[in-house]
Amino acid sequence: MKKMKVRGILIDINYKEGKIFLTIKNESGISTFYDDYYDYFYVEKNDENNAIINKLGMENVLDEVELEGKTFYKIKKVNEENEFYIKYAHNIPAWKKYLIENEITPMNLLELEVENDKILEVKDVGSYIPKLKVISFDIETYAPFIIPRVNKDPIIFASYASRDGEKGVITFKRGNRDFELLVKDEKELIEKLCEKLNEYEVIVGYNSSSFDIPYLMKRAEKLNGKFWLGNEEIEIKKLTTGKIVRTSGIIHFDLFYLIRLLANAQAIKTQRYSLEEIYEEIIGEKKMDLEEEKMCEIYDSDEKRGIYLDYSLSDAIATYKIFEKLYPLIVEICKISKIPLKELNNITSSQLVESLLFEYSYKYKFLIPNRPSEEELLERSEEKVIGAYVKIPEPGIYEKIAVLDFRSLYPSIIVAHNIDPKTLNCGHKECMKNVSPSGSYFCIKNRGIIPITVENLLSLRKKLKEELKKNDDPLIRARVAALKIILNSFYGMFRYVRSRWYSKECAESITTWGRKYILDIAKKAEEKGFKVIYMDTDSTFLTMGNKSKEDVIKFVEEVNKEIPEAMELEIENFYKRGVFVEKKTKEEIGARKKYALIDENGKIKIRGFELVRRDWCKFARDTQLEVLESILKEGSKEKAVEIVRNKIKQLREGKFKKEDLVIYTQLRKGKYKVTSPEFSAYEKARKRGIKIPIGSIIGYVITKNGKSISEKAEIAQFANDFDIEYYINNQVLPAVLKILGAFGYSEEDIKYYGKQTSLGEWENG
């Protein structure tokens, strides 16, 4: 038995019956060491609990701790059954406690002192970007009905790609590509893929938890073959939002979930989460695409099969490239919130925040509140909190606009006013002046754990942002991005009904203070002679008239002197022109959350318009974009009208691609009170024997077949004709009418245009 030191990156951590397992990676590969560690919970030291402990035996008491002025016993968790009425920290994963108590961080470099496999000492020696052996993979199926049927449609290709240049497509039908790996049949294909994947430390897929891995497993089972990853059974957990695949001995990472988190946090914006769109958004180039309907046909053709192989490989490569680009961000998320890589497979922003608050609570000796009971959940779900202020804009076109923004408004309010369930209405007389417009006041003597945490993160982010100005380092950029995502989720902790830190009063105080601060800006700006045209939550749009940029800068500086230290008003940008439109439903009332701006460099920013929505067809969205661009850039209404005229002509002449007419809508439920086009299209597909999972995004088009729009709706793949009138009157025209209207163009005229068009009269004139 010799003691030795081991250094390596902590890539995984697990707990099982009194033991913690740390998975470490270094030059000699991956190894796992264990530490004796008992999961525990806290109970308050009082007579009732003393009696229970006496019965249980003192050996179950691991420690005594002081938290928030009370004494707690730390009780060894042997099983879930015990008599304690109130327990704390009992449903926090043991591995998380271990990480926090030993001050070690996933993805950091650790120094272990071990004896055999047993850990004697563990030390975190700092930040490190681990280079892991990563391979991406993807499968293709032969699915004549587009949506694969697992008991019928075979897997025809399995592709993979890795950093070391390893790439290939496993197939049992030749495609004459040098990267193809020929096997005998599907069963061998699956096994070959396993061999390949298991050579690596991390396997990355895109939607692989919900599709590729379950499909591979079921096909393997059907063919009496084997699909294996790592060293234990693959565990599939079904959630409402998709499936989670858990492996051990090898890390499976599904990029899809991270993408969803980033999309929720507004870090990426795409219409759909398809690999193609995500690749374009993140990598900035187009990815090879194949028409779904022709895939079987291409596969069946000996000459064309190679193209399908190219496509299959391009999927694996795209997945790999996205992973590599996001890798610094992934690592930072793991580090900041102390979550091992595999846990990101099922992550939400509230979990990131919770994880951070666990750590800070431990550090600052705060008791971690428990999760709510079912009753509390019910009570909480009844409570409503009034949110942010949104100003109704005057429709029209504006010149010289300045947009001001509060930097991290809600987090900075939390810090400025020390908002926390534990500081709420503290009883101190001198704290009563720190009162919110909703009537709650917050302690000014003792800091709450949430303000402490938020303040730390805010100042860290500020520091990193300054560093970033000097040195544009991707790692720092990733940290800034990760911190932004986390900071924006803190406010949600107060009103998320399942939150441990739920507080209606805190949430209410934040939003009422937020409204007060933003309305104060409006008042001050008007006093200074600016005109406030629009506001939403933390942003203010001013028209400058004959005022200069310096005047705006001066105004912002003055404001910043008056508001609390932690808060800051910033200039988001100056715009030379902007468009606000009427609501479609009510004449002359401006629509909120809908605007288009062009800055001094010609860069366009568009929010809320149909063109950013996936439930409008691309044809109408493109038309709207062109119209907005021409108005913002050239200010020419004649040209804008000409664009619409031409687009309608194109529709009539059949000059469009089918995919430009597809409308995407998510089917969120299996049962509806009303028939919608997407549900009707889904039903028709189901009658054809196509299974579309609930939660899918349905792509449908409107055909000539039927009376109502729902009757005419058909899943894109099965549609052969298109109701052009629908696309003119319900898509293209509604998307541009209000914009041209804002430009002073008479709406009747344009509508008349539309009608004339529908009679087919003005192609000639």
Shortest Cβ 403–DNA spacing (Å): 9
351/756 with CB nearer DNA: 351
Q: Which stretch binds DNA (CB under 7 A): 276-284, 346-354, 477-485, 641-649?
A: 346-354
501 close to 353: Cβ distance less than 8 angstroms: no
Shortest Cβ 121–DNA spacing (Å): 34
For 57, phi and psi rounded to 5 degrees? 105, 135
Give the alpha-carbon dihedral of 474, 477, 482, 484, to 10 degrees. Answer: -170
Question: CA-CA distance, 36 to 642, in Å (whole number)?
Answer: 75
269/687 with CB nearer DNA: 269
63/383 with CB nearer DNA: 383
For 441, phi and psi rounded to 5 degrees? -125, 160
67/739 with CB nearer DNA: 739
Near DNA by CB under 7 A: residue from 489, 540, 624, 757: 489
Near DNA by CB under 7 A: residue from 146, 388, 563, 604: 388
697 binds DNA per the rule CB under 7 A: yes
Q: Both tokens of residue 677?
A: 């086009």
The residues pairing with 599 across neighbouring beta strands, listed in sequence order, are 575
491 binds DNA per the rule CB under 7 A: yes
The residues pairing with 394 across neighbouring beta strands, listed in sequence order, are none
244/521 with CB nearer DNA: 244
37/664 with CB nearer DNA: 664
Shortest Cβ 398–DNA spacing (Å): 16
579 binds DNA per the rule CB under 7 A: no
11 close to 341: Cβ distance less than 8 angstroms: yes
573/676 with CB nearer DNA: 676
378 binds DNA per the rule CB under 7 A: no
311/664 with CB nearer DNA: 664
3-state secondary structure of 24: strand
592 binds DNA per the rule CB under 7 A: yes
Shortest Cβ 466–DNA spacing (Å): 24
Question: CA-CA distance, 261 to 254, in Å (whole number)?
Answer: 12
Shortest Cβ 741–DNA spacing (Å): 11
390 binds DNA per the rule CB under 7 A: yes
457/591 with CB nearer DNA: 591
Question: CA-CA distance, 614 to 694, in Å (whole number)?
Answer: 18
Q: Which stretch binds DNA (CB under 7 A): 247-255, 299-307, 328-336, 611-619?
A: 611-619
Question: CA-CA distance, 13 to 725, in Å (whole number)?
Answer: 60
219/621 with CB nearer DNA: 621
Q: Which amino acid is at 626?
A: E
Shortest Cβ 579–DNA spacing (Å): 13
Residue 747 CB: number of other CB atoms within 10 A? 13
3-state secondary structure of 257: helix
4 binds DNA per the rule CB under 7 A: no
Shortest Cβ 361–DNA spacing (Å): 19
498 binds DNA per the rule CB under 7 A: yes
694 close to 679: Cβ distance less than 8 angstroms: no
43/419 with CB nearer DNA: 419
Shortest Cβ 575–DNA spacing (Å): 13
Q: Which stretch binds DNA (CB under 7 A): 240-248, 477-485, 637-645, 743-751?
A: 240-248
Helix and strand numbers (H, E) in the chain are 23, 25
Helices (H), ranges, 582-702: 618-633, 637-652, 677-687
Shortest Cβ 531–DNA spacing (Å): 18
Shortest Cβ 698–DNA spacing (Å): 8
Shortest Cβ 95–DNA spacing (Å): 17
- 697, HSE (Cβ side, Cα atoms, 13 Å): 10
Near DNA by CB under 7 A: residue from 50, 127, 231, 241: 241
Helix (H) or strand (E) holding 483: helix 474-487
Question: CA-CA distance, 475 to 368, in Å (whole number)?
Answer: 31
Separation of CA 392 from chain center: 29
* Total residues at interface with DNA (CB under 7 A): 69
User: Cα angle at 308 between 722 and 285, to 5 degrees?
Assistant: 75
Q: Would you tell me the crossing angle of helices 94-101 and 349-363 to the nearest 10 degrees?
A: 50
108/346 with CB nearer DNA: 346
Q: Which stretch binds DNA (CB under 7 A): 121-129, 534-542, 642-650, 748-756?
A: 534-542
93 binds DNA per the rule CB under 7 A: no
583 binds DNA per the rule CB under 7 A: yes
Beta strands 604-607 and 242-246 are unpaired
274 binds DNA per the rule CB under 7 A: no
551 close to 527: Cβ distance less than 8 angstroms: no
Near DNA by CB under 7 A: residue from 79, 224, 585, 764: 585
Question: CA-CA distance, 480 to 78, in Å (whole number)?
Answer: 41
Q: Both tokens of residue 430?
A: 């001198």
239 binds DNA per the rule CB under 7 A: yes
392 binds DNA per the rule CB under 7 A: yes
Question: CA-CA distance, 87 to 16, in Å (whole number)?
Answer: 21
79 binds DNA per the rule CB under 7 A: no
Tell me the torsion sign for CA atoms 643, 644, 647, 652. negative
Shortest Cβ 718–DNA spacing (Å): 18
- Cα–Cα nearest to 348, from 493, 476, 250: 493
Residues 649-678 that bind DNA (CB under 7 A): 664-669, 672-678
301 binds DNA per the rule CB under 7 A: no
Near DNA by CB under 7 A: residue from 307, 497, 571, 692: 497
268/288 with CB nearer DNA: 268
741 binds DNA per the rule CB under 7 A: no
22 close to 13: Cβ distance less than 8 angstroms: yes
614 binds DNA per the rule CB under 7 A: yes
519 binds DNA per the rule CB under 7 A: no
444/497 with CB nearer DNA: 497
253 binds DNA per the rule CB under 7 A: no
Alpha carbon of 466 to those of 213, 297, 406, 469, 559: distances in Å? 43, 55, 18, 5, 22
The residues pairing with 406 across neighbouring beta strands, listed in sequence order, are 569
Near DNA by CB under 7 A: residue from 39, 315, 505, 538: 538
612/690 with CB nearer DNA: 612
Shortest Cβ 751–DNA spacing (Å): 13
Residue 169 CB: number of other CB atoms within 10 A? 27
Alpha carbon of 311 to those of 164, 204, 307: distances in Å? 20, 18, 6
Near DNA by CB under 7 A: residue from 76, 468, 608, 652: 608
432/694 with CB nearer DNA: 694
- Cα–Cα nearest to 616, from 760, 736, 748, 746: 736
The CB-based long-range contact list for 544-551 (8 Å cut-off, 24+ gap) reads 544/400, 544/401, 544/402, 545/400, 549/402, 549/574
Interface residues toward DNA, by CB under 7 A:
239-241, 244, 264, 266, 269, 271, 346, 348-351, 384-388, 390, 392, 489, 491-492, 495-498, 536-539, 581, 583-585, 589, 591-594, 606-608, 612-615, 664-669, 672-678, 680, 697, 708-711, 730, 734, 738
